[in-house]
Amino acid sequence: MPDRDAADPIYFSKAVNEALDEELARDASVVLMGEDIGVYGGAFGVTRGLYEKYGPKRLQETPISENSFVGVAVGAAMMGLKPVVEIMFMDFIALALDQILNSAGKLHYMYNGQVSVPMVVRTPGGAKGGYGPSHSQMLSSLFVGIPGIKVVAPSTAAAVKGLLKSAIRDPNPVVFIENKRLYAQRGDVPTGEYCLPLDKAIVSAKGQDVTLFAYSAMVPICLAVKDSFAAAGVSIEVVDLVSLQPLDRATIAESVGRTGRAVCVEEACVTGGVGAEVAAIIAEECMDCLEAPVLRVGAKDVPIAASPELEKFVLPSANDIVRAVRRTLEW
């Protein structure tokens, strides 16, 4: 267990580190793979200290060849290991898409259940102050339509630890999205053993007038928007989707049943995004209780610029969410 006081908040990145540390200690079949995850401690310091503790057999540093080492992880998982692969930037995951799409997600079915692929692909997604068009994307929509793959995107330190532990223990492949902007956020994290379900949304704040559906780094922004409306007597519910595949249809329907209005918020591009899937679920299951059309807020459908000011222009902001909430209330 972590050597710290449970009352002290810890960084999101530290919570990821603790989850990896505990699972490496608990299960000898868990191995980490990725670029610079050993001596250097990872591009964002998430694996710092683990190489010294577990050595090169458990933390395997890889060449700059995502398709190759994700393929190695698929084979290792089929042979009984539990690889946790780090893709340094989510943008680079496109290089390994064939292994995830055509191997990891399908082999259990192709072999009639005789094999499983218990692997996790961890990857930092999202923009962070000028990283540019090929290091800033939230590519969640690439994975939600792949059969056999679970997709998780936590928003808090406590959730990222409990969900990562569950993902490592799951017999199925999991794409685990960690937003770069969240690494520096602090939160309360239990010191005892705990795991969280991979298929459940979290109602982060109860409300009666509008539901904001969000995930990853958009959740704290939505919570701030909720607080800004409270003074005007508008009660906003915030639902952290957490699981993007499968989506928690029951929680989505229950929330819209309470509020009658919904705004879907995500950092990914609006077109073809997770918000579109949430809107479709609401249309299928909640049409009778809707008081206004479902609205979506997300990034503009353009590459993310390296200029910090242009980056802000492309990404969804709190003001964008405020305008969407006002629009749905005035419908």
Q: pLDDT tens for residues 223-234?
A: 999 999 998 999
Please calculate the CA angle 197-275-17 and round it to the nearest 5 degrees: 40
73 and 221 part of one domain: no
147 and 208 part of one domain: no
Residues forming a β-bridge with 123? 177
Per-residue confidence band for 1, with pLDDT thresholds at 50, 70 and 90: low
Catalytic (active site) residue 135: yes
169 and 235 part of one domain: no
Per-residue confidence band for 116, with pLDDT thresholds at 50, 70 and 90: very high
Q: Which of 35, 66, 86, 311 is labelled catalytic?
A: 66
250 and 326 part of one domain: yes
pLDDT in tens, 279-311: 999 999 999 999 999 999 999 999 999 999 999
The DSSP 8-state label assigned to residue 102 in this structure reads I
Measured CA to CA, the distance from residue 18 to residue 190 in angstroms comes to 11
39 and 177 part of one domain: yes
43 and 183 part of one domain: yes
Q: What φ, ψ does residue 83 adopt, rounded to 5°?
A: -70, 140
Q: Give whole-number Cα distances, 215 to 35, 93, 101, 331, in Å.
A: 27, 20, 23, 25
Dihedral of alpha carbons 179, 180, 181, 186, sign: positive
215 and 169 part of one domain: no
89 and 130 part of one domain: yes
Structural contact between residues 18 and 2, judged by C-beta atoms closer than 8 angstroms: yes
Catalytic (active site) residue 108: no
Average pLDDT over residues 53-71: 96
Residue-range definition of the domain harbouring residue 289: 202-330
Average pLDDT over residues 186-198: 95
Structural contact between residues 213 and 265, judged by C-beta atoms closer than 8 angstroms: yes
Q: Which of 135, 178, 237, 267 is labelled catalytic?
A: 135
Domain assignment of residue 209, yes or no: yes
Tokens of 94: 């496109």
Could you please report the per-residue DSSP string of 15-38? HHHHHHHHHHHH-TTEEEEETT-S
Measured CA to CA, the distance from residue 65 to residue 82 in angstroms comes to 20
Could you please report the per-residue DSSP string of 33-101? EETT-STT--TTSTTTTHHHHH-TTTEEE--S-HHHHHHHHHHHHHTT-EEEEEPSSGGGGGGGHHHII
Measured CA to CA, the distance from residue 225 to residue 240 in angstroms comes to 14
88 and 173 part of one domain: yes
Residue whose C-alpha is closest to residue 121's, from 159, 157, 145, 95? 95
Domain assignment of residue 192, yes or no: no
Between 274 and 1, whose confidence is greater? 274
